[in-house]
Chains A and B, each alone.
Chain A
Amino acid sequence: MIIDYIGVKEINGSLIVLDNVENVSYEEIVDIRLSNGGLRKGRVVQIEGKKAVIQVFEGTNGISLENTRTRLTARPMEMPLSPEILGRVFDGAGRPIDGLGEIFPDKRVDVNGTPINPVSRIYPQNYINTGISSIDTLMTLIRGQKLPIFSGSGMKHNELAVQIARQAKISGEEGSSFCIVFAAMGVKNDVAEYFRRSFDESGVLQRVVMFLNLSNDSIIERTLTPRCALTVAEYLAFELDMHVLVIMTDMTSYAEALREFSSSKGEIPGRKGYPGYLYSDLASLYERAGMIRGKKGSVTQLPILTMPNDDITHPVPDLTGYITEGQIVLDRELEGKGLYPPVSVLPSLSRLMKDGIGEGYTREDHSALANQLFASYAKVIDVRSLSSVIGEEELSSIDKKYMQFGKLFESKFLNQGFNENRSIEQSLDLGWKLLSTLPKEELDRVDDEILNKKYVENPTFEQKILFDEDNENENNEDIE
């Protein structure tokens, strides 16, 4: 027997309350039909006896206490899945908006997913060559990792994500099984369009699934967008054996949607008004990356978040950093210097890197080089703060060498073209050349054996040119 419940008891923000409901289950989806013919969807978020609190995805505009007929569907929020899903565009709640019609599903899956059993996971160890020196050398991306980009408004995080997506695809030996799931949450229309155009230009549009919840779309749908996207990603990876790169932007908008919804429910707020369960909620998204024993595919996540006021201790980047396996932090000062990508090296980190580099993966000297670059660049920052007090002239000769190293590191190593795809060998060799501008005994993080092999004692004329500040050769053709 199908029952329509006529009218609602209470309306508050995006929530409606139904009374005298029979047989309602937690988190099930309901259809709400308005008397003017409009159809909306909602989800049960709280039950108390015969009272059910329902969250309306499209918002409660136009709903009165009497003009609705609500029907329980007895199903949780599900995403229709089939191999034809590649190349399609959906709205934030998983409805097709590209005019190509409905998906004929092979199966429907609950978007909330279920946790991967830790014993079924494979520890990710295969690195992804992104062709970007700073990332490949210092915060290597690993297949099955979740590595967010911490950025700020107006910085070039979108370009970086596009470049990673494009170049990671080319380098993968299993290029045919590579695909991208893109989830836009509360981003501007232009940004979504930029991603679409970029995917088109690099010829991967047919291998992209897009979920678009733009900044003027419903915030309730926004809380579903990443879940729909990750459900698709898991399907592609673990049932169709594909390597999936999931780009999610902007996680801050997502968290704000969650906060808005939480406060309308009257929940006790935690830090900065975000709900106390923000950590668990974010974890339920990020933890859906990984690889599973016996399955060929993988889910790699590249979430993008803009730090409000560039503050890394804001709850969203803070909690994200505790869940994800490292982070790529962008820096406004580097951006201001005109460097691309403006990766702030010191706070950036890839936790899975240590087991995915070295002999058999990248090159045996990789970890020594990375350690030394970090340590030397950290010293550069110290020297710079000293020089800002006493002036560059007053620095000791060794400190001056560090100043020079810092400049070269930023302009030659960090900085690279948007279309420039450096191989891992190129990046590592470049790193050693840069370190060789420092005296050998300063390189105390490296084993003597490796140091003797890699340290460029007397740079040849060509190598000197690389470090010649007067040589304004920006396209880096002189490397190699």
Chain B
Amino acid sequence: MNNQNTIYGINGPVVTVKNAKSFSMMEMVYVGNEKLVGEVIEINDLVTTIQVYEETTGLKPGEPVYGTGSSMTITLGPGILNNIFDGIERPLKDIEKASGSFISRGANVDSLNKVRKWKVKITVKEGDFLSAGEIYAECPETEVIMHKCILSPNLSGKVVKVEKDGFYCIDDKIVTIEDDKGNFHELSLCHEWPIRMPRPVKKRLPATIPLITGQRVIDTLFPISKGGTAAIPGGFGTGKTMTQHQLAKWCDADIIVYVGCGERGNEMSQVLDEFSQLIDPKSGRPMTDRTVLIANTSNMPVAAREASIYTGITLAEYYRDMGYHVAIMADSTSRWAEALREISGRLEEMPAEEGFPAYLPSRLSEFYERAGRVESLNGKEGSVTIIGAVSPQGSDFSEPVTQNTKRFTRCFWALDKSLAYSRHYPAINWISSYSEYFIDLDGWYNENLGNLFIKYRKQISSILHEESQLMEIVKLVGADVLPDDQKLIIEIARVIRVGFLQQNAFHSEDTFVPLEKQKLMMKVILYLYKKSKQLISAEIPISRITEFGLFDKLVKIKYDIPNNKLEMFDDYISDIDDAFESILKA
């Protein structure tokens, strides 16, 4: 190791080294006597600039800087799930053991547990040829997830030695391969991968399968596909985090990667609490068995915040390569962008919009392009879905992070302050949000739910748009002056808004709603609309219809009909028929 390089200057998390020739760009380095982790971010012939992932208080010029020769990597192997890491894959529980309740610097802990033994089954035999990214062993990582050991995408070769099945630690060598140059490589249960480099895949697949979330406004109006990208922008208090939590809890991905990037510490402890108590209905096991958390709270070092996003997506890609569907929640990407700005400011780079560096859009697009449904190198199908929260400054969606994110994501779930103020949750605004996945997903919906679903959705969405135009008038002259057919639109739109779009995350039945129930809810609401419209065109006043209380009854349908008793919808239809018959008779 090179020991001649020493610190020259210090400014916040940025440290400079003079006259160093040996460093390469993005190389991981250890800074100072405490060996703080850092990364090389700028090199010129005089000065090498390093961003340090920990507090730099107390560093002195003249302290050594050690190169590692490789770029910032993380360890991929069993033990990632059911764990909580900081931004550079250090397990926070081990840091707690080492340094107590407060995080001290230079904590030197292993990324993955090195002594735990895994029950390994080796899936190759001597003489097999292993190409890059192929699976050579597997072990049950948790009760629900089978971990598959993947050959590093940089290696390939013939298997020359195989150990017996049995219990091994992650560093034990279980398979040896010989590559085409005649070099031998001993494979353990894990391998290293640089976080800023996307893991290679065989090919990308079209986005034709939806990620089912059980949230009505998303599944019905603004669906996202497996392997898709979505942005959730919203000012503070509009429920970004709550929406992310709901998606993490209920979406039908196999693995959840939750990145708390520059957010609140109490929120992370809530996620920990909730996910360990929440029993997954599919497996009967706690959510944590298929979750990995990355926590870089807002008071943890800013440079590690920048890395946490990459660490998260790399972990997600790793599980994707095993053939799982992974959803990664990044809360919030604005904090990441601000970390970029902060570092950029310390480097005295020329700022672009609002002080953000000019490379902000390219960084964002690099990140979101790592999503996708793919066929991995070993032929398995997997996907990474990215759902990124955006915290626009001053709730102004025209700020650079929101605008650039909008360009690179295909779903835009805009959270609305006025909806949040009236406690309409999820506060996804149905006018300004959109999803570009309709066309890709229509086939799936038609096949699995019949062709009515899409028809219903279109009707619902056109009623909502009509209502929003009518509301412009109502704001000026009041609802009383509208003709009855327009009053009906407003009335039925209220049912849709309160009864369908609003969803109560704390209600045991309403927190997750299967697609079939969503469809039937739309059906019964639209049936009431159709019938009422007929009466109104027969000149029966709307007050006669509303006095039956049918509209209010439909508002509560989400609570009144349990998810497993969908036949009850027929009663509602016949109730509507009865009521309308009695009106006509009178």
Binding site for B on A (CB under 8 A): 23-28, 46-50, 76, 110, 112-124, 144-145, 238, 267-271, 275-277, 279-280, 283-284, 286-290, 292-295, 313-315, 318-319, 321-323, 325-327, 346-347, 349, 351-352, 354-355, 367, 371, 374-375, 378-379, 385-386, 389-390, 394-396, 399, 441, 444-445, 447-448
Report the minimum CB–CB distance from A219 to chain B (whole Å): 19
* Beta-carbon contact of A374 and B237 below 8 Å: no
Q: CA separation between A283 and B298, bound complex, in Å? A: 6
Binds A, one of B56-64, B65-73, B313-321, B462-470: B56-64
- Listed residue (A283, A289, A349) with the most chain B CB atoms within 10 angstroms of its CB: A283
Contacting pair A441 B266 (CB below 8 A)? no
Q: Determine the residue in chain A with the shortest Cβ distance to B241.
A: A351
- B297 x A287 contact (CB < 8 A): yes
Chain A proximity of B63: nearest CB distance (Å): 9
Q: Would you give the shortest CB distance from A406 to chain B, in whole angstroms?
A: 14
Main secondary structure of the interface of B (DSSP, over half): mixed
Q: Is the CB of A119 within 8 A of B84?
A: yes
Docked complex Cα distance between A352 and B264 (Å)? 11
Please indicate the chain B residues that have their CB under 8 angstroms from the CB of A325 in the complex: 264, 266-267
Q: Which 5 A-B pairs have the closest CB atoms?
A: A313-B394, A378-B422, A283-B298, A321-B236, A287-B299
A118 touches B12 (CB 8 A): no
The answer to whether B237 touches A327, judged by C-beta atoms less than 8 angstroms apart, is yes
Q: How far is the CA of A379 from the CA of B494 in the complex (A)?
A: 13
Least CB distance from A37 to B in Å reads 31
Which B residues fall within an 8 A CB radius of A? 8-12, 16, 18, 55-62, 84, 92-93, 95-96, 100-105, 235-237, 260, 262, 264-270, 272-273, 295, 297-300, 302, 335, 338, 341-342, 345, 348, 351, 354-355, 391, 393-396, 418, 421-424, 474-480, 498, 506, 549, 552, 555-556, 559
Whether A123 contacts B270 in the complex (CB less than 8 A), given A47-B10, A48-B9, A277-B12, comes out as yes
Q: Offer 22 A-B interface pairs, CB within 8 angstroms, sorted by A.
A: A25-B58, A25-B59, A27-B57, A47-B60, A112-B55, A117-B96, A117-B102, A118-B92, A118-B295, A119-B272, A121-B266, A270-B341, A276-B338, A277-B302, A279-B298, A313-B393, A321-B235, A346-B421, A378-B418, A386-B478, A441-B549, A444-B498
Question: Is B96 a contact partner of A120 (Cβ separation < 8 A)?
Answer: yes
Whole-angstrom CA separation of A389 from B549 in the bound complex: 30
**Contact (A284, B355) CB under 8 Å given A49-B8, A117-B92:** no
Query: A24 to B60, alpha carbons, bound, how many Å?
Result: 6
Q: Which residues of B contact A390 (CB under 8 A)?
A: 476-478
Please determine whether B555 and A444 come into contact, CB atoms closer than 8 angstroms: yes
Q: Is A50 a contact of B422 with CB atoms below 8 Å?
A: no
Residues of B within 8 A of A121 (CB): 265-266, 268-269
Contact A119 B93 (CB under 8 A): yes
Q: A385 contacts B8, CB within 8 Å? A: no
Contact A444 B552 (CB under 8 A): yes
B58 and A118 contacting across the interface, CB-CB below 8 Å = no
Further pairs besides A115-B300, A283-B262, A355-B270: 20, Cβ < 8 Å = A25-B57, A27-B57, A27-B58, A47-B10, A48-B8, A48-B16, A49-B9, A76-B57, A112-B57, A117-B101, A117-B103, A119-B92, A123-B272, A276-B345, A280-B262, A283-B299, A288-B299, A313-B395, A313-B396, A351-B267
**In the complex, what's the smallest C-beta–C-beta distance from B103 to chain A, in angstroms?**
5
B556 to chain A, nearest CB (A): 7
Report B516 CB to chain A, min CB distance, Å. Answer: 24
Look across to chain B and name the residue whose beta carbon is closest to the beta carbon of A320: B236
Judge whether B265 and A318 touch: CB under 8 Å.
Answer: no
Q: How far is the CA of A286 from the CA of B55 in the complex (A)?
A: 18
